[in-house]
A and B are shown apart, each in its own frame.
Chain A
């Protein structure tokens, strides 16, 4: 410790012993911040105090002086704990930086563009509950009259989830020009994922393909939440369910494929369980709650509908999402 610091401390202490004023206490506080910045250990501060008091009080009883040696011993462990704490903070900062890079990479690698499709209005949102998103949306334009979309939910978070998402994306990209049906795409991605996924991991995925020439939506599901279909003529919602096992559970899996025909103003809503399993103070919301919300905005455009649902459902959770939230709406406009 620099001699100058010792002198200043002694001066402050001397002044405080005389006045016991608030001002000296305040100065002391400022001084201690300085100590912390300079990484001066607690036992060194006591040692400084001991020297100062011995110099300030001539007839200091020797017991008092010795008692500081005892206190110094006591404080050494506090000093070690402090050092450990500081090193943890530094490590945490380093991890945080890595995470930020990973998030940026995930966003760049996995980004998707909303396709322009004649007569189909597309709106979507995918918000992570924490830093990294375990939900994934990917759009593919196979031809000008066809659009494919995948909505996937990967259990587990962080880097492993991001890696499996890349596999989903790669699987879809590699089948891009092969005109495969939704069930074939799911079987292919399942085989790919099954080989590399750890035992208690899986991916649920909904895959749909809309054809503008026939206005039909062909879909298959790998253990994913059923989508909702709104039939404007009947003013009714139907569940779009199709049987299929989660991706990554076993190598061979069959995926049922179904189709639904869309008329003008009909829409399809694909979501993850972060939407359907919204949990509020009063328990889980039911599907008819989501249907009611959708009904209120059914004449809006697809993105406005998506944004409205997100705002309402996140408000119900006090703006603290419990799970990643992903919602896609496809609406036939002409």
Chain B
């Protein structure tokens, strides 16, 4: 990636294949600057949208010294398939000696990382004033 060039991508996935009747929606905004890559994920990460997120993250060319920041402050629901995407991404990042920060977790998501013990190995940050529970 060229220095000082900011690239912004916005991808919108809609998936009608849902057993909950509603229309599932997941958006990813990506900002790349030098070796720092910031992703903002918006929507729900579940069995339907997780493969798309995985695909999107997989496009990132891993490089030593790279820093990746995933902002989940606008993710209102995530299930274990979603967690699987982050586990897979974390393993890849670690293998490349890169750095991963997952931030903007609401209380419910933070709890998910806590229960699974992933908070002990990953760098995660709870949303400021993260008392609100946006999952309902």
Residues of A within 8 A of B (CB): 153, 155-156, 198-202, 204, 222-226, 243-246, 249-250, 253, 273, 277, 279, 282-284, 320, 322-323
Contact = CB atoms under 8 A, between A and B. Distances in A.
Chain B interface size band reads: 20 to 34
Contacts of A320: 19
Contacts of A226: 115
Across the A-B interface, the 4 shortest Cβ-Cβ residue pairs: A200-B88, A283-B136, A245-B117, A223-B116
28 contacts: A153-B80, A155-B83, A156-B81, A198-B88, A200-B54, A200-B84, A202-B83, A202-B87, A202-B116, A204-B80, A204-B116, A223-B116, A226-B115, A243-B117, A243-B120, A245-B116, A245-B117, A245-B118, A245-B120, A245-B121, A246-B87, A246-B116, A246-B117, A246-B118, A249-B121, A250-B121, A320-B19, A322-B20
Interface string B52-90: 001000000000000000000000000111011101111
Contacts of A279: 20
Interface in B83-133: 83-85, 87-92, 115-118, 120-121
Contact of A284 (B81, B88, B117, B135): B135
B80 A155 contact: yes
A244 B121 CA distance: 11
Q: Tell me the interface secondary structure of chain A in the complex.
A: loop
A179 to B, nearest CB: 25
A222 B117 contact: yes
Given A155-B80, A155-B84, A284-B136, A223 B91 contact: no
A281 to B, nearest CB: 9
Given A246-B87, A249-B87, 17 more contacts: A155-B81, A155-B83, A199-B91, A201-B84, A202-B84, A204-B80, A204-B116, A244-B117, A245-B116, A245-B120, A246-B116, A249-B121, A273-B79, A273-B80, A283-B135, A322-B20, A323-B79
